[in-house]
Amino acid sequence: MKVTSVTLLKHNGENTDPFLLGNAVELSSFGFFQRGTVKEMLVFVSRTICKRTANGVRQSVAHEEYMGHVYNKNGVVAIIFCDKEYPARSAFCIVNKVLDDYVGKMGDAWTGVSADSTDGDAVCQEAIEKYQDPAQADKLLAIQRELDETKVILHNTIDSVLQRGEKLDSLVEKSSDLSMASQMFYKQARKQNACCGFM
């Protein structure tokens, strides 16, 4: 069980890219040369999910072997990517804690953010270090009972978050978050993961 990334974003509506408010990643399980590409992909997927998450909505989105747990709280969005074994309940406790810590630290200053920022990096880094063990996050459950009162939407794949007729491949090509190397890595990985037919 592992948390791979914790990201904070400012939601700017469905038609505008969200601004990055903070980010922390734990990529020790990836090769050294893959880490930059993986980080770019995590930011790209986080922005895409954030755009499709309305205010007040919590949802879990499966993406390959990872789960993204997201909550849009009054325009501040926290997204945690972890493996599928990490308990969803613990992940949402972390999401709530990260949002509360960031808003507590920044107050309403985040509403004036008009470009990517690193103001929330420390909050994200603290969370990714502290909550690698879900038992640490479970201690928050007694405080965060509102999770039981809210509806969690589970999407089977990130494709279900995309708008009708929209493909992840076309978004990857249009993205300004991904370098050409990252786009090529994504395309090659998709080809390798495709099933092979027998002749």
What is the reported pLDDT for 199? 46
What is the reported pLDDT for 164? 60
> How is residue 47 written in tokens?
């922005």
Q: What is the pLDDT along the chain (199 residues), one digit of tens a residue?
A: 789 999 999 998 888 899 999 999 999 988 999 999 999 999 999 999 999 999 999 999 998 888 999 999 999 999 999 999 998 888 998 999 999 999 999 988 888 888 998 999 999 999 999 988 877 776 665 455 555 555 565 556 666 666 665 666 777 777 777 777 787 787 787 777 766 555 4
Q: Is 115 helix (H, G, I), strand (E, B) or coil?
A: coil
Structural domains of the chain in order of their starting residue, each with its CATH number: 3-189 (3.30.450.50)
CA–CA distance, 12 with 76 (Å, rounded to integer): 9
What is the reported pLDDT for 127? 94
Q: Where are the alpha helices (DSSP H) in 29-141?
A: 35-51, 88-106, 121-130, 134-138
Sign of CA dihedral 119, 22, 16, 171: positive
What is the reported pLDDT for 87? 86
- Is 16 in contact with 7 (CB distance < 8 Å)? no
Please choose, from the candidates 41, 45, 40, the residue with its C-alpha nearest in 3D space to the C-alpha of residue 18.
45
What is the reported pLDDT for 129? 93
CA–CA distance, 191 with 155 (Å, rounded to integer): 23
What is the reported pLDDT for 15? 85
> How is residue 117 written in tokens?
């920022």
